[in-house]
A and B are shown apart, each in its own frame.
Chain A
């Protein structure tokens, strides 16, 4: 009697465990996929942030602080990969999320630096162009006004000279 009950309970437990195991496997597989896509998203975020930093740098923005933050994002990404390799997918997702966040912050900051650098470049361009136009006008005026003086000076010197023809 007891043996029969025990057997039936065992079968039920076994069936229950067997019914759970595919779900557990699917769940593990899901979290692994989530971790993979989180790491991939973090990589993309960091790369995009780097491209934004390069854009800001190209037009003369100061990006030294942003490079430091990008290295922080890269370190977090590395931690995420390490956790993934150790099959600690929750940690991998957490680190990848942090890396993505830092990447986004850097991207936003780079966009601001770019706007500021653009503004500074526009101001500089105005000053340079204005200064150059003024300078060119001054030089040209000096040339035009100075040319008659130069001519007079030359002839005056020439008249003071004794030509070699006369002596021969």
Chain B
């Protein structure tokens, strides 16, 4: 009976705990031990979220493989190049499609807020399967095959992208403020959705501005 009472011995330090406290500590330690040794089996039925954000990267690098020297002032018949790259951090292998589109300053870009792609038609597409944490990169070579200028308007009719002729049929009027005929070549990232058995817009796009100088 006496033994169940609290015994104070501050010199020893440990004795301020009752037997019940020690028993609870013993039980908790035992439970932790049981959980530790059972963790391999538990891992088969309980999946823990890694908490890592899933995302994809889409980038453009200049011809020197740096974030600079992008083609800007373009002329008919001259070749220009840059690098298009993808990075997969989606937690598994992914089937990507990159749609290449061409617009003037008034035509629509994708709507990032509504996750909607641009309504413009795709001129060219790249497809790539990328492993988790893997990257894919390709050098893109393009040139303006056919363009014309009438007074203050410029027309681009055909482009050559990776040796493939594509019809553009886009026009723009002279930009008085920025002094140029500006077009944008942009790239939309789409991802294959296994539930839909098709591609869906992945809400990422990059582009370069081009000034038709001649």
Contacts and interface: CB of A to CB of B under 8 A. Distances in A.
Interface of A: 47, 50-51, 53-54, 57-58, 63-64, 67, 70-71, 74, 77-78, 82, 85, 125, 127-129, 131-133, 135-136, 138-140, 142-143, 147, 150, 154-155, 157-159, 161-164
Contacts of A164: 7-9
A157 B3 CA distance: 11
A54 B92 CA distance: 8
A24 to B, nearest CB: 25
B151 interface: no
A133 B8 CA distance: 42
Question: Per DSSP, are chain A's interface residues mostly helix, strand or loop, or mixed?
Answer: helix
Given A133-B41, A150-B26, A155 B92 contact: no
A78 to B, nearest CB: 7
Interface of B: 3, 7-9, 12, 14-15, 19, 22, 26, 30, 33-34, 36-44, 92-93, 95, 125-131, 134, 164, 192, 194, 197
A132 B93 contact: no
A136 B95 contact: no
Given A82-B164, A154-B22, A47 B3 contact: no
A53 B93 contact: yes
A132 B42 contact: yes
